[in-house]
Structure 1
Amino acid sequence: MKAISFGGGVQSMGLMVLAARREIPHRCFLFANVGHDSEDPRTLDYVERVAAPYARAHGLDLHILDRVTRSGRRETLWGRLMRPGSRSLPIPVRMPNGAPGTRSCTKDFKIAVTGRWLREHGAGPQAPVEVGIGISLDEVARASNRHVEPYERITYPLLDLRMRRADCLSVIADEGLEAPAKSACWFCPLKSRGGWSELLRDRPVLFERACELEETLIARRAALGRDPVYLTRAGRPLAEAVGAAQDELPLDVGCDSGWCMT
């Protein structure tokens, strides 16, 4: 088996187009959904409206996977963070000095979820599955950060093909498909200041919910006698640290690659 870890972003959609053209040998795509309340709504919409129909039309298997607990309950990242009494901090929140904390969100809600599916379908130390990751040439430094599990063998098809993000956008456009948005949780603390400003400007309801999350985490930490944590490196609450972005220029600029498994 050869599978692609599909995040719904530009690079992974580029890989899907390459697979449809049989320029790479992968036919299986695994999208670990961290939750309807956690994934960026634009990504979920794109997967349902564009990626899934495209996969079906070209004989590709796109599997949308959820995290399921031992009790059979479907768990989301937002749900874990906001659960009453929870002390879990799986996202890389920012300390008062701006430094990011440790995180387990990618491992728990992406790697473990796809890994469980792979093992259920025959993967193991004696028969590892080749898992393709959508890291392009312009972000090659990310390729060394992926932990390898015994049941998998990690490959980087875009690096092998010397493809950059712009090349992925080109192959997507060549198919007559719209380009996907950045794939990441909408409340991820790794979001840039500009990304938060755009969220405030374009999707204020989500921005308000991010402020709610931050306030909840701060209050929870205070009750435990611990320092506050934030969603930006500014060392102060999100609502104070971020102003709305200016209107976008009529030019597609900047990096749109996701942070996790895309």
Structure 2
Amino acid sequence: MSAPAHRYLSLGAGVQSSCLLLLAVRGEIPTFDAAVFADTGWEPTAVYAHLRRLERLAATAGIPVVRVSAGNIRADALDPAHRFASMPLFTLGPGGERGMARRQCTSEYKIRPIKVEVRRRLGYPHPTRVPAGVVAEMAIGISVDEIGRARDADVAYMRNVFPLLDLGWRRGDCLAYLTEHSLSDTPRSACVGCPYRTDTEWARLRQDDPAGWDDAVAFDAAIRHGSARANAAGHPLRGQFFLHRQRIPLDEVTLRPRQQEQPDAPGCGPWTCPHPESPPETAHGAAGAAQSEVRD
């Protein structure tokens, strides 16, 4: 099988994808026609600062870093006129039922805009059909310790490849490589109000980014009774939404950060969004109501 004529990097700006970009810049893996960053509009300040650094670094090797977006996920969630792309919020039903809303945010705010950009670069924007045989290679930063997340693309015009798996690298190898090249402070990429944050990460956000913490607290309160669109239509949530798994207001949570954060906790890249740190809970009660909101 011949190599695709187009080769892109899915750049989440976390550890693994940053490592892949650096490897390409230094000529240690084949280069990319572009590195595509799907911007939800709600990344922490540190991630945007790191992304600007990556843009400068990539430019030295002629690799453009392209930012694509489907909108600002925070603003959209609170806009009564905007469809609500469900986040994996923790739910508490009227009878105390505990669950989680289903996750649509990764698909809508990360994967979909990347596909739009790939189609555009191939010369076949939606709804134009991409001819058989026209394929773009999409490099994804999944390391050996996350091999279970490696999946084939769900469209014929993209072929997912995993250079870190080919190298046999784990996340620790990526961290060591970034450290060797003065990028040891590469942050974990995830939205400010991502419910998958651990207590350690919430505590770090509160300490290092007070404005980000206040923003998350305000969003947590605003989303309590469901999406703005459903509420405006007279369909409030049968229960409550929360950002924290304790299912109490974020600013009332007693955070219990671990002395040593689990070293292999992944960021929320387009194809590597993590699952909750504890076993999944039943998606009944308020979660069922949450799901009904996102079918408009």
What's the TM-score once normalised by structure 1's chain length?
A: 0.84
- 1:41 corresponds in structure 2 to 45
Give ranges in structure 1 of 5+ residues lacking alignment: 68-74
CA displacement at 1:98 relative to structure 2: 4.7
For the Cα contact (< 8 Å) 1:196–1:242, is it kept in 2? Answer: no
For the Cα contact (< 8 Å) 2:8–2:139, is it kept in 1? Answer: yes
Give the Cα–Cα distance (whole angstroms) in 2 for the partners of residues 186 and 20 of structure 1: 29
Q: Which residue among 69, 72, 75 is the counterpart of 1:76?
A: 72
- Residues 96-122 of structure 1 deviation map (CA, whole Å, 9 limit, x = unaligned): 255332121111111111111110111
* Mean CA deviation greater in 161-170 or 92-101: 92-101
For the Cα contact (< 8 Å) 1:200–1:243, is it kept in 2? Answer: no
Residue 94 of structure 1 pairs with residue 90 of structure 2? yes
What is the 5 A alignment of 1:208-247?
208-220=214-226, 224-243=236-255
Of structures 1 and 2, the larger Rg is shown by 2
- 1:158 corresponds in structure 2 to 164
Letter in 2 for 1:102: R
Q: Which residue among 42, 55, 58 is the counterpart of 1:55?
A: 58
Measured at CA, do residues 206 and 98 of structure 1 come closer, stay the same or move farther in structure 2, by a change above 3 Å?
Answer: farther
Q: Which residue among 251, 267, 281 is the counterpart of 1:258?
A: 267
CA displacement at 1:164 relative to structure 2: 0.9
Q: Which residue among 17, 23, 27 is the counterpart of 2:22?
A: 17
- Residues 216-254 of structure 1 deviation map (CA, whole Å, 9 limit, x = unaligned): 1114468615110111211222222243759x78xx973
- 1:109 corresponds in structure 2 to 109
CA displacement at 1:260 relative to structure 2: 2.2
For the Cα contact (< 8 Å) 2:12–2:38, is it kept in 1? Answer: yes
Report the identity percentage. Answer: 28
For the Cα contact (< 8 Å) 2:135–2:157, is it kept in 1? Answer: yes
Give the Cα–Cα distance (whole angstroms) in 1 for the partners of residues 251 and 161 of structure 2: 40
* Mean CA deviation greater in 234-243 or 107-116: 234-243
- 1:70 corresponds in structure 2 to none
Give the Cα–Cα distance (whole angstroms) in 1 for the partners of residues 167 and 99 of structure 2: 35
* Mean CA deviation greater in 203-212 or 11-20: 203-212
CA displacement at 1:176 relative to structure 2: 3.2
Residue 177 of structure 1 pairs with residue 183 of structure 2? yes
CA displacement at 1:170 relative to structure 2: 2.1
CA displacement at 1:86 relative to structure 2: 5.0
Give ranges in structure 2 of 5+ residues lacking alignment: 1-5, 125-129, 273-296
Residue 138 of structure 1 pairs with residue 142 of structure 2? no
CA displacement at 1:198 relative to structure 2: 2.2
Give the Cα–Cα distance (whole angstroms) in 2 for the partners of residues 225 and 256 of structure 1: 31
Give the structure with the larger helix fraction.
Answer: 1
Give the Cα–Cα distance (whole angstroms) in 1 for the partners of residues 265 and 157 of structure 2: 30
1:171 is paired with a residue whose SS is helix
